[in-house]
Amino acid sequence: SYVLAQPPSVSVAPGQTATITCEGTNIGSKSVHWYQQKPGQAPVLVMYYNDDRPSGIPERFSGSNSGDAASLTITRVEAGDEADYYCQAWDTSRGHRVFGGGTKLTVL
């Protein structure tokens, strides 16, 4: 089955840039989506089609996807960005949706 690997945690100071990676075999050939989940809340889509932002998501959020790694980048990080972030892709060979294990973003 297709596996997506994320670092368990990323820490960054306010105002700095955070990059969260999502690794998978030839993930660059797939569309990757990213979700933000704050404690006690449902996930929220923050990036789709690798680098498209849903309405209401700040321009500070951007995405990329190439080769065996996708990434979500958050510039000028704010305290409110502290959350768990999950990547997700579609294993079309089996029709399965796959989530990465999640990355806890801590704003120092």
CA pair distance 69, 89, nearest whole angstrom = 12
Nearer to another protein, 16 or 38 (CB): 38
Under DSSP, is residue 32 helix (H, G, I), strand (E, B) or coil? Answer: coil
The least distance separating another protein from the CB of residue 49, rounded to whole angstroms, comes to 4
Binding characters for another protein, 42-71, by CB under 8 A (x = yes) = xxxx--xx--x-x-----------------
Single residue of 13, 29, 97, 108 touching another protein by CB under 8 A: 97
> What is the per-residue DSSP string for 52-69?
BPPTTS-TTEEEEEETTE
